[in-house]
Amino acid sequence: MSIKLVAIDIDGTLITDKGEITTKVYEAIQKAKAQGVKIVLTTGRPLTGVHSLLDYLQLKDIDDFVITYNGGLLQEVKTGKEIARYSLTYDNYLEIEMWARKLNVHMHAITNDAIYTANRDISRFSVREATLVNMPLKYRTPEEMTSDLEIVKTMYIDETDYLTEIIQKFPAHLKEKYATVRSAPSYFEILNSKASKGNALLVLSKKLNINNEEIMAIGDAENDLSMLKVAGLGVAMENAVTEVKKEADVKTSSNNDNGVAVALEKYVLK
């Protein structure tokens, strides 16, 4: 069965460590599009952090879709129409923020419009995230956060080794209540229990009448595991974490060595 949809992670997969899309990757994606294959970017970033890539890859037509916030939001690119949204309530935020204080870890929450942190000593990882995704970073105490703010996801952010310790201390009942994923060494994300790249991909495939066997997913990090599991063909980057390599059906070269292009040329392009 031929591949009709390719879901591609961004950081560590689509782009190089320098944040660039190589010429070979660009050309392979254009060939796949010309062949009628649906290309869908799937990322932990908000839409503001994806616009330039969608523009460059010409993925802004009326029938193009994007999965952001690690599956917290699935929407049409051109119109912005939301196909699926899995966000957090105000009470969810208060609970997650309270545990951040108990565990003594930096945290921020992300809406469609801004990143909010209650840390007076703002983490450099919050600053880096705001810069990466082109979002304003705002300091607000929990009391100043209003219930009308629709938070799509929260993140505990800190130094790698320290964050590892924090994750081990994160209460089991909260891991059952929320979707949690370590999307990067310094990022531990806490989301709505239904939010995952895999779940959003299933919603999209049903809408487009595409079978799981007709989907290829390419990724490198823990937040990509769910979509590799639902795709008929899961592809791990050479630079992927061990868990992703174990879950994947096949492997490709690294993000710095045209890994996405290699996978497209081998399994998709005719």
Query: 30-39 pLDDT, tens per residue?
Result: 999 999 999 9
Which pLDDT belongs to residue 89?
94
The answer to whether 26 and 264 have CB atoms below 8 angstroms apart is no
Q: Is the pLDDT of residue 1 over 80?
A: no
Cα atoms found within 13 Å of the Cα of residue 92, Cβ hemisphere only: 23
* CATH of region 5-85+195-267, choose from 3.40.50.300, 3.30.450.40, 3.40.1440.60, 3.40.50.1000: 3.40.50.1000
Domain limits of the chain? 5-85+195-267, 90-191
The answer to whether 72 and 153 have CB atoms below 8 angstroms apart is yes
pLDDT in tens, 116-147: 999 999 999 999 999 999 999 999 999 999 88
Domain at 90-191: CATH code? 3.30.1240.10
User: Which amino acid would we find at residue 164?
Assistant: T
**Alpha-carbon distance 136 to 243, whole Å?**
33
Do 5-85+195-267 and 90-191 show the same overall fold? no
Closest CA to 9 of 221, 251, 263: 221
pLDDT in tens, 193-227: 999 999 999 999 999 999 999 999 999 999 999 99
Catalytic choice (9, 11, 64, 224): 9
Task: Tell the residue number behind the tokens 């050479």, with chain if given.
Answer: 238
Q: What is the mean pLDDT of the chain?
A: 96
Q: Is the pLDDT of residue 183 over 80?
A: yes
Which pLDDT belongs to residue 147?
82
Provide the whole-model pTM.
0.92
For the question of residue 224 being annotated catalytic, the response is: no
∠47-202-69 over CA atoms, to 5°? 25
Q: Using 50, 70 and 90 to split pLDDT, how confident is the model at 256?
A: very high
pLDDT in tens, 38-75: 999 999 999 889 999 999 999 999 899 999 999 999 99
